[in-house]
Amino acid sequence: MFKGSMTALITPFRDGAVDEKAFARFVDWQIAEGTHAVIPCGTTGESPTLSHVEHNRVTEICIEVCKGRIPVIAGTGSNSTEEAISLSQHAQKAGADALLVVTPYYNKPNPEGQYLHFKAIAEAVDLPIFIYNIPGRSVIDMSVATMARLAKLPNIVGVKDATADLARPLKVRTEIGPKFCQLSGEDATVTAFLAQGGVGCISVSANVAPRLCSELHTAWQQGDYARVWQLRDRLMPLHEAMFCETSPAPVKFAASLLGICADGCRLPIAPLSAEAKVKVEAALQKVGLLEAAH
């Protein structure tokens, strides 16, 4: 159920508020372009800046638009266990298919604290849960041993791995087994991650190149590796441009160039610099996305 190209959805804003109509259109377009699953209210969706009301509403809109056509993996993580439980219970009630829960940031819990955090969330809901391991943003790096311990809980089903450590998925597969669902959180290393035991990618680039990203994963699943390499090489300039400054500012600017939504982010994410805008636009042109949009 959970494999292929999955988009870490941006959250459009207009005049400081969530642009609900633009978001609904965006989710529908993602499905039409072949995206295999969507993730509302992740870091790319600027979840740390959303109020609880906004967070829950964005999740609800995503589920309403999808109508079961593709899975919705709701971002419900927090560095407060109680808050993560509340967001997770709401997502379950709203009809999400699974949850993406980030390792607690800033608090720096030790392995026991990490285990107890995820265990408490898992016991509060019935949905499948993906651990989101992203030490670059949360400081802590969940060890394979802690992950293996959590994998024994019935609804801890996988991980979004944003470590960029390409030995990690093979270590996890060896330690936990092939049924533990490993999703890449790094667009630029996705094909290597798949080769090391992964089954999909939660992607930033798929916000603006959903069809190309979807085709890459479909080609991988079909064993059409020549097509995989072709798409991997074509998409690389986009992957680089999407992180030329703090995400999601670059991908939101790219989305604005494609007419998807306005480019505004909430502070503390700064507006994209003029230099970065040139890089993003050049990448879209090189990949062929601007021509397709006009």
Please give the torsion angle defined by the CA atoms of residues 32, 191, 157 and 43, in that order, rounded to the nearest 10 degrees. -70
Across-strand partners of 30? none
Please identify which of the residues 3, 160, 252, 277 carries the catalytic annotation.
160
Encoded amino acid at 17, one letter? A
Please identify which of the residues 106, 108, 115, 132 carries the catalytic annotation.
132
3 as an active site residue: the answer is no
Residue pair 138/163 in contact (Cβ under 8 Å)? The answer is: no
Give the integer Cα–Cα distance in Å for 294 and 290. Answer: 7
* Buried-exposed string 213-233: b where 16+ CB fall within 10 A, e elsewhere: bbbbbbbbeeeeeeebeebbe
The separation between CA 249 and the C-alpha centre of its own chain, rounded to angstroms, equals 15
Dihedral sign from CA coordinates of 156, 158, 162, 165: positive
115 as an active site residue: the answer is no
Give, in degrees to the nearest 5, the angle at Cα 205 between 201 and 206.
65
Catalytic residues: 132, 160
